[in-house]
């Protein structure tokens, strides 16, 4: 299945929480989404890794989907992230997101026990069979514990109706080469490793999945525009300007660092959920300095 | 805090499920626990990694605790495993297990976003503060995504009241050396890496946390007895006899392989939960052969 | 020290040997060098990794230097590779190369026992003090066993007179980012990882150190030209055309695969030195096919 | 081929050098060997990794063999280490050692370019064909860059006449398990990873190849004796006493740390060869303290 591919930035909001474990802070979530919509994204993807999806209770997650659909309001495609340990839970979430009005799903398998390729394939097959929404398959071994090699990713796009895009967040540029080669350049892939943004676009990535616009505004979109215009030097100069922030948010964990950065910029989005702790001390000062010199 | 340490085998049951995602198969769970009690364990630990705790719904997990308490019935200490992404969920489970009559907790932090040592420490502190049960801190980076080095493990035992034992499943013998040295041999540690059982005992492990007795009966307990008797050659001979099965269940994933083995041995404990798939084909034949030649 | 940096391709010849361990095949070496000179290189670097420098006796190495100086004849800068286990041997080679008329040295430390940064620094200091030739510091942990992080590389360029360029062959693009950042873009760095050629140039590499022109002619030089002209799409298309060959020669070892490829293309350059064995069987057929479809 | 296996400690001397790169310090080498002979070794192995074989010129190496044969004088078997990049050089050294009166060779392949199994096998075949001395195949990927898996090691012992023992220094206990299993316990293997000494003996290692007796006297031999006597607790207690020194010399590099330790103990054996630097500063003080508390 081939939809018109999304070209450019797929932006990821954090999910703000109320104090005392009292659920999503709905007003703050809307503010975060409104701010993201102003950064020139090609799409918005809620409840992904940056959105602390893994730490949400089921009802919270469902409310998050509804809020996202409402706030994005069709201005750009709205993608919903699904990362579940069991196939049954992933299927249930896919159905909910479709009913709630999402435009697309991004699905990542999560492991406790290692999964073999047959198990991963069957997981995606079950989710895809449960929904009419197109699906982006998402590889992020560092967070999910599941590592899907390029050949498996390409095979799933080819063989499972409904899966049409690939998000690669392993940070290994050679995997992007392999996806390009194995699909003869026909399957759009997106880079999810922030500190590899320049090279992934050089290698032919269709876009960049990133929470960076929360803190860097439309500069990520501008990087893509420079590449599209063949302005390699400007692209490189911009990339090296952004890189300290990109590296910092990758190394410090996206929810922790992006929420801290939003607070520094005056958009209160609360703290990450425990055991994650708010950024503090020297690292907070580093981020303050990095953002001030952007 | 120091309790009388458990010497020998801490045995881990699988958790049998009913078909069609219909919850725990209670009768089968009791059969599994009864069979384990006959393998000469020093303790039984339910709802651990082998028990597919990660794949259980909250109500299923609670029912599992009640069933375990009832079936073990005080014959040996009953340990309950807690592996949660959020601190709030871990605390809630600790409280439930204490009310339900567990003797001890085994707690493993699970990550989506990487945790730093402050976050891990605070997670354990919160769980320990919520219960009077003694706690075994459990390190298993391959399944949980969190890697706690020896210095952190030892520090938590020393500084957090209620944490008194260490289970090390990284499979790195040097970490056991470090725990021994950092604690001057005073903190009992247990080996959770099956294929390292002989060497861990040689290095001074207080016991072996293992699902192997499900398939190998009292032979693991016998290995410990040989070591205790200074019968190094017999210990070694027995270990090499058991090793093919130990290696197979480690490499194939405990729920998948142990459930398949129980079925081969006539104790029906169902299939693992999806996306895990039942052992089949050539690998099933390998296990059949391995068990037949024990 | 800053020389006019070399922009583009630094080409690496193989070193042909006579049969029966009878030394360098001088006529063949000249043919290899003449062919390389026709591929539009910015410089030629003899006796590097691809040149089997590690397997040469001292007298063979010296003869190789003389042959290289003579054959290149000032048409482009002539760089001589030095990779030695002891500092004394590296110093002796540096002096020889200077006397023989080389234009520049490329120096890689080789380890049996791991070296700390003080030892590496002192090694380079001793070599640089022994010669007036400018030195490119070369990092290639996979072959040499020594891994020099960006901060050390940059520090050596800054603090050791005579060291002015960096060749990075770890294949880690983030190290190129770090070199750029740590030196504010002022230290020219070259990429030595063939399958990373496109992205390294995107990231700002001054050139590409490669044995690929032996088999691919002036196509590597053309890739650099496309980048320089802002022709990103053409650069990408060319890179993906070259990539199967680049990957093959990296994975199969440069001396083995390049010598086999030269033979397939009619330029007999002999076999690699034992224990390396000539490419044969299915892998040779793969290379034949890859070269035929270039 | 099966010789009576050597049971216990195979002791490795360092190679003392004269100042100003002036060759082996012969008197000091004799003192080192005499001291080693007093530590109850089952054999002595000269010119191994600890003996800085990799840094010796050819004539120095030859002189080292002669000195070793003379000093050991048949009191225990004398093993000569051969680690060469080219097959031709390894063959030449094997012939020399045999003529000089060595009892056995220990052969490690060294890589610049990665070797495949066919290349490694042919390298050993060529060396074995060149000598009547029995050969111990030596695996030490961290220093040599060549990693030989258990199946290859066992196959070479089985298929190449003259190769009869295995030294495993990867530090991976599972490889010792595999050697035991693949050979049905019939091929004697030796542990070369000092900080794994206790567990390797537990797993059935025939002995321990170590430079530790240079600093720890007959205590390593006593560890083996405890194991042989089934005195597991005493073995463990002794091991943990030795472990800080064992770990220190492994992490700091054997030539560097053992030569420093010998000097601290009053046996002057000079400095390691450059680029290796003598132990100094805080690390030297650490070693002084460790040796003082043995």
DSSP state letters, B231-242 = -HHHHHHHHHHH
Residue in B195, B202, B240 closest to D236 by CB: B202
pLDDT > 50? residue B232: yes
Q: Chain B: nearest CA to A63, how far in angstroms?
A: 19
Q: What is the pLDDT of residue D271?
A: 97
Q: Is C181 in contact with A243 (Cβ distance < 8 A)?
A: yes
Which of A55, A112, A142 is the closest to B143 by Cβ? A112
* DSSP bridge partners of C187: none
Query: Which residue in B204, D121, B274 sits closest to A92, CA to CA?
Result: B274
How many residues make up chain B in this entry?
A: 294
Asked if C236's CB is within 8 angstroms of A232's CB, the reply is no
pLDDT tens for residues B143-199? Answer: 999 999 999 999 999 999 999 999 999 999 999 999 999 999 999 999 999 999 999
Of chain C, the percentage scoring pLDDT greater than 70 comes to 99
Task: Round to whole Å and give the CA distance between B208 and D75.
Answer: 44
Containing D33, the helix (H) or strand (E) segment is helix D26-37
| Per-residue model confidence (pLDDT) at position B1 | 38
- Shortest alpha-carbon distance between residue A120 and chain B (Å): 7
CB A251 within 8 A of CB A287: no
pLDDT at residue number A4: 59
Nearest residue on chain D to C88, judged by CA atoms? D274
D72-75 long-range Cβ contacts below 8 angstroms, 24+ apart: D72/D33, D72/D37, D72/D44, D72/D46, D75/D37
Give the closest of D21, D119, D272 to C276, CB-based: D119
Residue C2: pLDDT band (50, 70, 90) is very low
Asked if C118 lies within 8 A of D87 by C-beta distance, the reply is: no
- Is C113–D143 a contact, with Cβ atoms under 8 angstroms apart? yes
Sign of the torsion angle spanned by Cα atoms C250, C252, C254, C257: negative
How many helices and strands, by DSSP H and E, does chain C display? Answer: 13, 8
Question: Which of C88, C116, C255 is facing D274, going by the closest CB pair?
Answer: C88
Instruction: Compute CA distances C110 → C86, C107, D266, whole Å.
Output: 8, 10, 32
Tell me the chain C residues in contact with residue A177 when contact means C-beta distances shorter than 8 Å.
195, 240, 243
Question: How many C-beta atoms surround the C-beta of residue C96 within 10 A?
Answer: 18
Q: Is the pLDDT of residue A3 over 80?
A: no
For residue C5, pLDDT over 90 is answered with no
Q: Does B24 touch chain D if contact means CB atoms closer than 8 Å?
A: no
* Inter-chain residue contact D174 with B195, CB threshold 8 Å: yes
The 10 Å Cβ neighbour count of residue A58 is: 13
Say if B227 is an interface residue toward chain D (CB within 8 Å).
Answer: yes
Other CB atoms within a 10 A radius of the CB of residue D62 amount to: 17
What average pLDDT is seen over chain C?
Answer: 97
Q: Mark out the alpha helices in A79-160 (DSSP H runs).
A: 87-100, 117-129, 141-144, 150-159
Residue D253 contacts C where some CB pair is shorter than 8 Å: yes
Give the whole-angstrom CA distance, residue B271 versus residue B278: 6
Using CB atoms, list chains with 3+ pairs below 8 Å to chain B.
Answer: A, D
- Which of A116, A123, A143 is the closest to B112 by Cβ? A143
The answer to whether the CB atoms of C274 and D118 lie below 8 A apart is no
B199/D204 touch (CB, cutoff 8 Å), yes or no: no
Query: Is the per-residue pLDDT at C190 higher than 60?
Result: yes
Catalogue all structural domains in chain B, each as residue range(s) with its CATH number: 8-232 (3.20.20.70)
Q: How many helices (H) and strands (E) does chain D have?
A: 13, 8
C185 touches chain A (CB under 8 A): yes
Q: Are D113 and C145 an interchain contact pair (Cβ–Cβ within 8 Å)?
A: no
Query: Residue D128 is inside which H or E element, if any?
Result: helix D117-129
Q: Does B180 touch chain D (CB under 8 A)?
A: yes
Chain B within 8 Å of A19 (Cβ-Cβ)?
no
Question: Would you call B255 and A113 a contact, using CB atoms and an 8 Å cutoff?
Answer: yes
Alpha carbon D68 to its chain's center: 14
Decide if A199 and C195 are in contact by the 8 Å CB cutoff: no
Contact residues, B window 94-113, toward D, CB-based 8 Å cutoff: none
**Other CB atoms within 10 A of residue C165 CB:** 25
CB contact under 8 A, C203 and A204: no
Q: Do B232 and D202 touch (CB under 8 A)?
A: yes
Tokens representing D94 are 């094997």
- Across the interface, do D232 and B230 touch by the CB < 8 Å criterion? yes
Tell whether C275 lies on the interface with D, counting CB pairs under 8 A: yes
D231·B230 Cβ contact <8 A: yes
pLDDT in tens, C257-273: 999 999 999 999 999 99
**Mean pLDDT to the nearest integer, B130-142:** 98
At B137, give phi and psi (nearest 5°): -85, 135
B and C touch per CB criterion (3+ pairs under 8 A)? no
| Yes or no, beta carbons of C203 and A243 under 8 Å apart | no
Cβ partners under 8 Å of residue C291, min gap 6: C215, C245, C261, C264, C265
A152 close contact with B: CB closer than 8 A = no
Share of residues in chain C with pLDDT > 90 (%): 97
Residue-wise pLDDT tens digits, A186-204? 999 999 999 999 999 999 9
CB D196 within 8 A of CB D172: no
Contacts of residue A146, Cβ cutoff 8 Å, sequence gap at least 6 = A108, A109, A110, A111, A114, A115, A120, A139
Is the Cβ–Cβ distance between B144 and B83 less than 8 Å? yes
DSSP summary character for residue C75: S
Instruction: Give the closest-approach CA distance of C109 to chain D in angstroms.
Output: 9
Instruction: Single out the residue of C139, C196, C193 nearest to residue C163, CA to CA.
Output: C139
Taking CB atoms and an 8 Å limit, are B88 and A274 in contact across chains? yes
- Exposed/middle/buried for residue A80 (C-beta within 10 Å: 0-12, 13-18, 19+): buried
Nearest residue in C to A231, CA atom: C230
Give the SS3 label for residue B286: helix
Please write the tens of the pLDDT for every residue from C54-112: 999 999 999 999 999 999 999 999 999 999 999 999 999 999 999 999 999 999 999 99
Query: Each residue of A226-254: pLDDT tens digit?
Result: 999 999 999 999 999 999 999 999 999 99
Distance CA C69, CA C102 (A): 6
Best D53, D112, D278 member to test C by mutation, with max C CBs in 10 Å, is D112
Assess contact for D187 and D179: CB atoms under 8 A. Answer: yes
Q: Which of C86, C120, C276 sits opposite D55 (nearest CB)?
A: C86
Q: Would you call C22 exposed, middle or buried from its count of C-beta atoms within 10 A (0-12, 13-18, 19+)?
A: exposed
Residue C275: asked if its preceding bond is cis (omega within 30°), the reply is yes
**Could you tell me what percent of chain A has a pLDDT over 90?**
97
Is the CB of B255 less than 8 angstroms away from the CB of A54?
no
Question: ipTM of this predicted complex?
Answer: 0.95
Q: Any alpha helices (H) in chain B, and if so which ranges?
A: 26-37, 58-72, 87-100, 117-129, 141-144, 150-159, 173-182, 197-202, 213-216, 219-228, 232-252, 254-264, 281-292
Q: Are strands D8-11 and C207-210 parallel, antiparallel or unpaired?
A: unpaired
Q: Which of the 8 DSSP states describes residue A192?
A: -
**CB-based contacts of D285, cutoff 8 Å, min separation 6:** none
| Cα(D78)–Cα(C50) distance, integer angstroms | 38
Q: What are phi and psi of B40, to 5 degrees?
A: 65, 45
Residue ranges, chain D, pLDDT below 70: 1-4
**C-alpha–C-alpha distance, residues A233 and A211, integer Å:** 24
A1 pLDDT band (50/70/90 cuts)? Answer: very low
**Sheet strands (E) in D102-155:** 104-109, 135-139
| CA torsion angle B233 B239 B240 B245 (round to 10) | 170
| D202 has a chain B CB within 8 A of its CB | yes
Which of A202, A235, A240 has the CB atom closest to C198's CB atom? A202
What are residue B113's phi and psi, to 5 degrees? -85, 140
Compute the distance between CA of residue B84 and CA of residue A273 in angstroms, rounded to an integer.
13
- Does B2 score more than 80 pLDDT? no
Query: Whole-angstrom Cα distance, residue A93 to residue A83?
Result: 9
Reference D167, options D156, D95, B240, D159; nearest CA is D156
Dihedral angle computed from the Cα positions of residues A70, A74, A76 and A80, in that order, rounded to the nearest 10 degrees = 50
Per the DSSP assignment, residues forming a β-bridge with A9 are: A208
Residue with structure tokens 């350049």? A185
Q: Does D41 touch chain C (CB under 8 A)?
A: no
**Cβ contact, residue pair A112, B110, below 8 Å:** yes
Q: Which two tokens stand for residue C54?
A: 């590690």
Q: Which DSSP letter does residue A4 get?
A: P
Question: Measured between CB atoms, does C177 come within 8 Å of chain A?
Answer: yes
User: Any idea what DSSP says for residue A86?
Assistant: S
Chain B residues lying within 8 Å of D233, measured CB to CB: 230
How high is the pLDDT of residue D294?
Answer: 80
From chain C, pick out residues whose CB is under 8 angstroms from the CB of A182.
Answer: none
Contact status, residue C204 vs residue C176, Cβ threshold 8 Å: yes
* Helices and strands, counts by H and E, chain B: 13, 8
Reply yes or no on whether the pLDDT at B207 is more than 60: yes
Which residues of chain C lie closer than 8 angstroms to A196, CB-CB? 173
Q: What distances in angstroms separate CA A260 from CA A33, A272, D257, one per listed residue? A: 16, 9, 47
Binary contact (D240, B185; C-beta < 8 A): yes
Q: C43-46 and B104-109 as β-strands: parallel, antiparallel, unpaired?
A: unpaired
Q: Measure the CA–CA gap between A191 and A209, rounded to whole angstroms.
A: 6
C42, C76 in Cβ contact below 8 A?
Answer: yes
- B243 near D CB under 8 A: yes
What is the rounded distance in angstroms from the CA atom of residue D30 to the CA atom of residue D72? 9
């Amino acid at each position: 299945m081939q939809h018109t591919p999304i070209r450019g930035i797929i932006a990821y909001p954090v999910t703000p929480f109320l104090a005392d474990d009292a659920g999503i802070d709905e007003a703050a979530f809307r503010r975060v989404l409104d701010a993201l919509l102003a950064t020139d994204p090609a799409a918005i993807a809620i409840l992904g890794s940056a959105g602390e999806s893994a730490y949400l209770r089921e009802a919270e997650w469902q409310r998050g989907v509804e809020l996202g659909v409402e706030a994005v309001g069709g201005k750009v495609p709205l993608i919903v992230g699904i990362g579940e340990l069991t196939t049954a839970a992933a299927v249930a979430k896919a159905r909910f997101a479709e009913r709630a009005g999402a435009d697309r799903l991004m699905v990542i398998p999560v492991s406790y026990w290692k999964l073999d390729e047959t198990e991963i394939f069957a997981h995606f097959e079950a989710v895809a069979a449960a929904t009419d929404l197109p699906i982006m398959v998402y590889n992020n071994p560092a967070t999910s514990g599941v590592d899907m090699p390029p050949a498996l990713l390409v095979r799933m796009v080819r063989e499972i109706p409904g899966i049409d895009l690939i998000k690669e967040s392993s940070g290994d540029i050679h995997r992007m080469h392999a996806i390009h080669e194995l699909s003869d350049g026909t399957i759009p892939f997106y880079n999810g490793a922030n500190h590899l943004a320049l090279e992934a676009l050089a290698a032919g990535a269709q876009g960049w999945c990133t929470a960076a616009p929360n803190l860097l505004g439309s500069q990520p979109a501008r990087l893509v525009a420079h590449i599209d215009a063949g302005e390699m030097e400007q692209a490189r100069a911009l990339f090296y300007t952004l890189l300290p922030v990109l590296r910092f948010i990758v190394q410090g964990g996206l929810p922790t660092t992006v929420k801290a950065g939003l607070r520094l910029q005056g958009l209160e989005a609360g703290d990450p959920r425990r055991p994650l702790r708010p950024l503090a001390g020297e690292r907070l000062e580093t981020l303050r300095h990095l953002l001030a010199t952007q």
